[in-house]
Amino acid sequence: MWERVKTFASEFFVTGDPMIYGADASIVITMIGIVFGLTYFNKWGWLWREWLTTVDHKKIGIMYILAAFLMLFRGGVDALLMRAQLAAPELSLLAPDHYNQIFTTHGVIMILFMAMPFMFGLFNVMVPLQIGARDVAYPFLNALSFWLFFSGAMLFNLSFVIGGSPDAGWLAYPPYSGIMHNPGVGQDFYIWGIQISGIGSLMTGINFIVTILKMRAPGMKLMKMPMFPWSVLSSCIAIIFSFPILTATLALLFLDRYAGAHFFTLDGGGNPMMYINLIWMWGHPEVYIIVLPAFGIFSEIVSTFAKKKLFGYKSMVYAMMIISILSFLVWAHHFFTMGSGADVNAFFALTTMLIAIPTGVKVFNWLFTMFRGKITFETPMLWTMGFIPCFIVGGLTGVLLSVAPADFQFHNSYFLIAHFHQVIIGGVVFGYFAGLYYWWPKLFGFKLNERIGKWAFWFWNIGFYLCFMPQYALGLMGMTRRVVTYGWDKGWWEMNLVSTIGAGLMGIAFLFQVWQIVYSVKHLQKDETGDPWNGRTLEWSIPSPAPHYNFATLPQVTSQDEWWEEKQRRLQGIATPATKITEPIHMPKNSGIPIIMSMFWFFTGFGFIFDWLWLAIPGLVGVVVCMLIHSFNYDTDYYIPVEEIKHTEAAIRGVTS
Partner 1 sequence: MKLPKARRWFASVAMLLILLLTATGCTEKMIVLNPKGPIAEQQRDLMFISLLLTCVVIVPVLILFAVIVWRYRDRKGRTSKYTPNWEHSTKLEVIWWGIPIIIITILAVITVQSTYALEPSKPLASKEKPITIQVTSLDWKWLFQYPEQGIATINYIQIPEDVPIRFEITADSPMNSFWIPQLGGQMYAMSGMAMTLHLQADEQGDFWGSGANFTGKYFAKMYFDVKSTSKEAFNTWVSDVKASSPALTLDGYKKLTEPAASEVRTFSGFPEGLFEMTVTKYASSHNHGLSWKDIQKIDKQE
Binding footprint of ligand HEM on the chain (CB under 6 A): 76, 79, 82-83, 103-104, 106-107, 110-111, 114-115, 169-170, 417, 421, 424-425, 428-429, 467, 481-482, 503, 506
> Within 13 Å, how many C-alpha atoms sit on residue 315's CB side?
16
Taking CB under 8 A as the rule, does residue 342 contact partner 1?
Answer: yes
CB atoms within 10 A of CB 575: 11
Closest CA to 17 of 64, 68, 106, 81: 81
Q: Which helix (H) or strand (E) holds 634?
A: none
Cα separation, 170 vs 548, whole angstroms? 38
Q: What is the C-alpha separation between 12 and 145, in angstroms, rounded?
A: 29
For residues 404, 83, 72 and 98, what is the CA-based torsion angle, rounded to 10 degrees? 90
Give 144 or 467: the residue with its C-beta nearer to ligand HEM.
467
Ramachandran sector of residue 573 (left: φ over 0; alpha: ψ -120 to 50; beta: rest): left
Q: Considering the complex, state which of residue 134 and residue 284 has its C-beta at the smaller distance from partner 1.
A: 284
User: Does residue number 356 form part of the binding site for Cu ion (CB under 5 A)?
Assistant: no
Q: Binding partner of residue 181 among ligand HEM, partner 1, Cu ion, none, CB under 5 to 8 Å per kind?
A: partner 1
Residue 478 contact among Cu ion, ligand HEM, partner 1, none, beta carbon within 5 to 8 Å by kind:
partner 1
Contact with partner 1 (CB under 8 A): which of 147, 335, 383, 549?
A: 335
For ligand HEM, give the closer residue by CB, 316 or 503.
503
CA-wise closest residue to 335 among 107, 112, 168, 171: 171
Stretch that binds partner 1, among 20-28, 208-216, 371-379, 621-629 (CB under 8 A): 371-379
Binding mask 214-253 for partner 1 (x = CB under 8 A): ----------------------------------------
> Which residues in the 379-398 window bind partner 1 by CB under 8 A?
385, 388-389, 392-393, 395-396
Stretch that binds partner 1, among 43-51, 308-316, 545-553, 645-653 (CB under 8 A): 308-316
Residues 414-453 that bind partner 1 (CB under 8 A): none
- Is 89 a binding residue for partner 1 by CB under 8 A? The answer is no
User: Rounded CA gap, 300 and 283, in Å?
Assistant: 27
Q: How far is the CB of 31 from Cu ion (least distance, A)?
A: 39
Closest CA to 428 of 464, 481, 466: 464
User: Which member of 58, 63, 72, 100 binds partner 1 (CB under 8 A)?
Assistant: 100
What's the CA gap between 228 and 561, in Å, rounded? 12
* 284 near Cu ion (CB under 5 A): yes
SS (H, E, C) 524-547: CCECCCCCCCCCCCHHHHCCCCCC
Nearest approach, Cβ of residue 412 and ligand HEM (Å)? 9
Closest CA to 376 of 307, 449, 298, 448: 307
Residues in contact with partner 1, total (CB under 8 A)?
103
- Residues 617, 164 contacting (CB under 8 angstroms): no
284 binds, among ligand HEM, partner 1, Cu ion, none (CB under 5 to 8 A by kind): Cu ion
- Closest contact distance (angstroms) between CB of 130 and partner 1 is 19
Compute the least distance from the CB of residue 408 to partner 1, in Å: 2
| Shortest separation between residue 227's beta carbon and partner 1, angstroms | 12
273 is a site residue for Cu ion (CB under 5 A): yes
Question: Cα(28)–Cα(521) distance, rounded to whole angstroms?
Answer: 27
Residues 6+ apart with CB under 8 A from 357: none
Contact 441, 532 (CB under 8 A): yes
- Binding residue for partner 1 (CB under 8 A) from 89, 184, 219, 272? 272
Contacted by 267, from Cu ion, partner 1, ligand HEM, none: CB < 5 to 8 Å by type:
partner 1
419 touches Cu ion by CB under 5 A: no
What residues line the site for Cu ion (CB under 5 A)?
273, 284
